[in-house]
Structure formats: C-alpha cells, structure tokens
Amino acid sequence: MTLRLAVILGLVILVGGAVPAAAADTHVITVTVDGFSPSTLPIKQGDTVKWVWESGSQTITDGDPEQMEEAGKVLDLVIDSENPETTKLFEKIGTVSYFSRTNPSLRGTITVTGATPVTRRTWGWLKSIYEGA
C-alpha cells in the first residue's frame, strides 16, 4: 500500500461519512397563575418543551377551549405544586395550540419546523488529493 493511499484511507476513517444534525434542544415555558411564558414558541422537530410551574394550578391542553370535547388529544397535562414540571417531545411538524382547562383564557402556541437534516459529504476533494498529488 502506498503512503498516499494509506493517508487517504486514514482520512476517510477519521472524518467519517456524515456530519450529524444539530442536537435537539429543550425549551422552557414558565407556568404561572397569569399564563404561559413565552406564550408562543418556535422549535425544531425533535426538540423537547419543558413546562415549569411557578404559581397557580393549570393544565396544558391542546386544542380550542370552545371545543372541549375535541381538546386534549396531544397534550392534557396537569402542572401545579404537586406536579411542578412536565415535558413533551415534539416529533411532528406543525402548530400545536394549547390552553389551560383551569383558565381557558390562558393560551399558548408551539410551532414545530423541520429539523436540520444530516448532510452527506462528497468525496470529490479526496479524489482530487489522490489524483492531483
């Protein structure tokens, strides 16, 4: 095996074939007697939202408070002094509107966009090193 081929093989093993996507984030929403903060939150697919209780007793319920029978199909979580934190992983792209069953005027929206894709490297630069040197 020539030295050039050994170097190229070493680079292929060292660099690998893919650049991993950005790590998922955890976003925090504070829950008080006055509402959710922030009330609107853009996130990426695969991110987690963590609701942290500060005061009051609320629910985190998806849907429209005007249509209670349809509400709570994605989210229906209680957050209060006995349940001070709750999390949800968002894997589906779209918008989730939510409210509190305790006080339906308290509302929030989470908008989930596509995650940064894994990118594949092309090996043209490696070929040019092998052929050009």
Q: CATH number of the domain at 73, please.
A: 2.60.40.420
For residue 87, the number of C-alpha atoms closer than 13 Å in the C-beta half-sphere is 9
Q: 110: domain range?
A: 26-116
Residue 110 maps to a domain: yes
Residue 86: name the closest of 129, 32, 30 by CA.
30
> What is the percentage of the chain residues whose pLDDT exceeds 70?
70
Residue 10 maps to a domain: no
pLDDT higher at 4 or 50:
50
pTM: 0.71
CA distances from 120 to 19, 22, 28, 98, 129 (A): 7, 14, 32, 37, 19
Residue 102 maps to a domain: yes
Residue 14 has pLDDT above 60, yes or no: no
Rounded to the nearest 10°, the torsion over CA 19, 27, 104, 34 is -160
- Total count of residues recorded for the chain: 133
Residue 17 maps to a domain: no
Write out the two tokens for 113.
């966009």
pLDDT in tens, 73-92: 989 999 999 999 999 999 99
Q: How many domains does the chain have?
A: 1
Quick one: pLDDT at residue 23? 80
Residue 88 maps to a domain: yes
Residue 105 maps to a domain: yes
Per DSSP, helices labelled H in the chain are 3-15, 124-132
pLDDT band at residue 121, thresholds of 50, 70 and 90? low
Residue 9 has pLDDT above 90, yes or no: no
Residue 63 maps to a domain: yes
Residue 76 maps to a domain: yes
